[in-house]
């Protein structure tokens, strides 16, 4: 694709009625606090849990594996009982996990609590962006869909603060409070969620058009926009446009519908869909493979290797990492719809490469002078770590979720997001569970040089494969990846031949013509 096609963006239309949608997105994104706190509550806990330290990297990384269970289970739960109640379910699961960890009497019970908490993290990580995307008006999509990432960083910061606040407690009590206190935000979330409306998409899937219309009118800029969004959702749910009423009967999902989605996305995708899938999965992969979890999760080890000693100093510098992450993710939130995805992403990746090289250099110098403390090398390590989390948070961190929620065609969007998230969590688990062993094998400085090389490959991938999506409607995304208008009609004809759908294709247009190819997957 030519460079002009990759970088071209359109100015988003100004909309004023986003207050209600913003409140809904904030409440839903509270579930991401669980993800951030649950994933990073072990960041400095190794200082206190001496009896399980030899297996700490497994305990830290295994949560990403456990969260896969919650992610896929949450997708089914959200379709059955609704998005809002799934948020409650996520909070309750993590609440139980946090209590089990806080009251653990041995390593086995700690791992059981970690498993339960991991499932809750998976539920929260899946439902927050899905609900936010479904409730957000198109003009504010970048701003609102970045909220989950903001709240993940708030959760990380809370993890750092709790570690710092409870560091002076007795050894046998401090780590228990650090882990058990995670039950507090989950309990608060379970109460706050009842102020949220249900997702209009889920309401339409259940035939509750009047309820869906009421929500859309509150989250749209005008009644006309609300009616247009409702019409699109009706078609995606398999409801004819001319069928109206407060409550209607939704056609039951046809046999093989889910398999049609898997076929269209995974087993026999078109070249365009294959490119979209590669872009989404690649973005998730490089977000984790560039070493973000190693920098954040093991920052105490990094700072200790740099020559910073004393628990209070380690915790203080680690808290600075959390503050930096939170501040710069807020900056990114306001730039996504103004500057665009590509400029932020390329700047972010470039800054991460330089920061990783600086961190690797500083740690290597310190490693070669173990008997003498070199202030300049220590300062370089601290500055490089803070620079890394700043560059990550201003681009690659939030854009991964935002971009993946935009680029997939309607009928495969949910599965595409799930596949990308699965790649993200598996890569995260591999990176976090191998960092300590990797640093022993090639030195801790060498580990960050390796991550810088991976980040450099990621920069090339972003530059060549990811077009700009700012200001584009979701229906225009296929064109950005090379899908001409004629392909829409071809897809519609192919769908008719395969008899995937029963309703007349003349009811469909735009993105929905492609949707016919993947059958009844609009329910996902």
196 and 280 housed in the same domain:
no
232 and 289 housed in the same domain:
no
Give domain status of residue 32, yes or no.
yes
pLDDT in tens, 402-445: 888 788 876 677 778 778 888 888 898 788 778 878 888 898 88
224 and 277 housed in the same domain:
no
3-state helix, strand, coil in the chain (%, to 5): 80, 0, 20
CA-to-CA distance for 283 and 461, rounded, in angstroms?
A: 9
Give domain status of residue 326, yes or no.
yes
CA-to-CA distance for 56 and 58, rounded, in angstroms?
A: 5
200 and 77 housed in the same domain:
yes
Residues 6+ apart with CB under 8 A from 503: 238, 240, 251
221 and 330 housed in the same domain:
no
Q: Is 3 helix (H, G, I), strand (E, B) or coil?
A: helix
Token representation of residue 324: 């930096």
> Which of 232, 250, 268 is a domain's end point?
250
212 and 267 housed in the same domain:
no
419 and 467 housed in the same domain:
yes
* pTM tops 0.75: no
> Which of 187, 220, 250 is a domain's end point?
250
CA triplet 306, 309, 310: central angle to 5 degrees?
A: 150
CA-to-CA distance for 278 and 284, rounded, in angstroms?
A: 10
Question: Which pLDDT score is estimated for 450?
Answer: 95
How many residues does the structure list for the chain?
524
The residue among 68, 87, 97 whose CA lies nearest residue 180 is 97
Token representation of residue 176: 């228990």
262 and 137 housed in the same domain:
no
How many domains does the chain divide into? 2
239 and 274 housed in the same domain:
no
Question: Which pLDDT score is estimated for 309?
Answer: 66
Question: Which pLDDT score is estimated for 489?
Answer: 38
The answer to whether 422 touches 68, Cβ cutoff 8 Å, is yes
CA-to-CA distance for 31 and 313, rounded, in angstroms?
A: 31
22 and 170 housed in the same domain:
yes
> Which of 202, 221, 250 is a domain's end point?
250
Give domain status of residue 491, yes or no.
no
Give domain status of residue 515, yes or no.
no
Burial of residue 506, with CB atoms counted within 10 A of its CB: 0-12 exposed, 13-18 middle, 19 or more buried: exposed
Q: Give residue for tokens 């009251």.
A: 103
Q: What Rg do the C-alpha atoms of the chain give, in angstroms?
A: 23
CA-to-CA distance for 520 and 33, rounded, in angstroms?
A: 34
Give domain status of residue 509, yes or no.
no
Q: Which domain holds residue 152?
A: 15-250
240 and 325 housed in the same domain:
no
178 and 296 housed in the same domain:
no
**Residue ranges in the chain whose pLDDT is less than 50:** 1-2, 14-16, 44, 50-54, 254-256, 486-524
């Amino acid at each position: 694709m030519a460079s002009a096609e990759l970088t071209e963006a359109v100015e988003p239309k100004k909309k004023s009625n986003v207050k209600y949608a913003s409140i809904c997105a904030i409440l839903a994104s509270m579930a991401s606090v669980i993800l951030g706190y649950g994933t990073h509550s072990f960041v400095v806990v190794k200082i206190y849990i001496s009896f399980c330290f030899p297996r700490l990297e497994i305990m830290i990384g295994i949560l990403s594996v456990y969260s896969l269970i919650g992610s896929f289970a949450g997708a089914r739960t959200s379709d059955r009982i609704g998005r809002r109640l799934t948020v409650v379910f996520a909070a309750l699961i993590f609440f139980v996990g946090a209590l089990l960890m806080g009251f653990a009497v041995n390593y086995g019970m700690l791992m059981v609590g970690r498993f339960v908490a991991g499932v809750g993290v998976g539920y929260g990580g899946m439902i927050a962006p899905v609900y936010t995307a479904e409730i957000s008006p198109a003009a504010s999509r970048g701003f609102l869909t970045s909220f989950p990432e903001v709240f993940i960083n708030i959760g990380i910061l809370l993890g750092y603060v709790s570690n710092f606040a409870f560091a002076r407690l007795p050894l046998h009590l401090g780590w228990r409070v650090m882990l058990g206190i995670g039950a507090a935000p989950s309990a608060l979330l379970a109460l706050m969620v009842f102020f949220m409306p249900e997702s209009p998409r889920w309401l339409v899937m259940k035939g509750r058009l009047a309820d869906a219309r009421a929500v859309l009118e509150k989250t749209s800029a005008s009644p006309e926009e609300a009616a247009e969004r409702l019409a699109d959702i009706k078609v995606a749910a398999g409801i004819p446009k001319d069928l109206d009423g407060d409550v209607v009967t939704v056609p039951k999902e046809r046999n093989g519908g889910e398999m049609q989605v898997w076929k269209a996305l995974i087993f026999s995708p078109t070249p365009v869909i294959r490119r979209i899938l590669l872009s989404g999965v690649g973005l998730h992969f490089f977000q984790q493979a560039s070493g973000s979890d190693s920098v954040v999760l093991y920052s105490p080890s990094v700072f200790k290797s740099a020559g910073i000693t004393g628990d209070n100093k380690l915790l203080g510098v680690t808290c600075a990492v959390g503050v930096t992450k939170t501040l710069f993710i807020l900056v990114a939130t306001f730039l996504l719809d103004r500057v665009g995805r590509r400029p932020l992403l390329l700047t972010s990746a470039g800054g991460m490469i330089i920061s990783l090289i600086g961190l690797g250099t500083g740690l290597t110098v310190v490693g070669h002078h173990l008997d003498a403390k070199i202030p300049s090398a220590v300062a370089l390590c601290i500055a490089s770590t803070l620079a890394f989390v700043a560059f990550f948070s201003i681009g690659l961190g939030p854009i991964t979720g935002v971009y993946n929620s935009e680029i997939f065609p309607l009928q495969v969007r949910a599965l595409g997001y799930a596949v990308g998230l699965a790649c993200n969590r598996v890569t995260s688990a591999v990176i976090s569970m191998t960092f300590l062993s990797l640093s022993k094998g090639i030195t801790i400085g060498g580990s960050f040089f390796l991550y810088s090389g991976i980040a450099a490959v990621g920069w090339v991938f972003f530059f060549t494969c990811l077009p700009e999506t700012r200001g584009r409607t979701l229906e225009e995304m296929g064109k950005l990846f090379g899908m001409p208008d004629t392909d829409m009609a071809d897809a519609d004809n192919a769908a008719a031949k395969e008899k995937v759908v029963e309703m007349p294709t003349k009811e469909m247009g735009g993105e929905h013509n492609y949707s016919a190819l993947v059958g009844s997957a609009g329910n996902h």
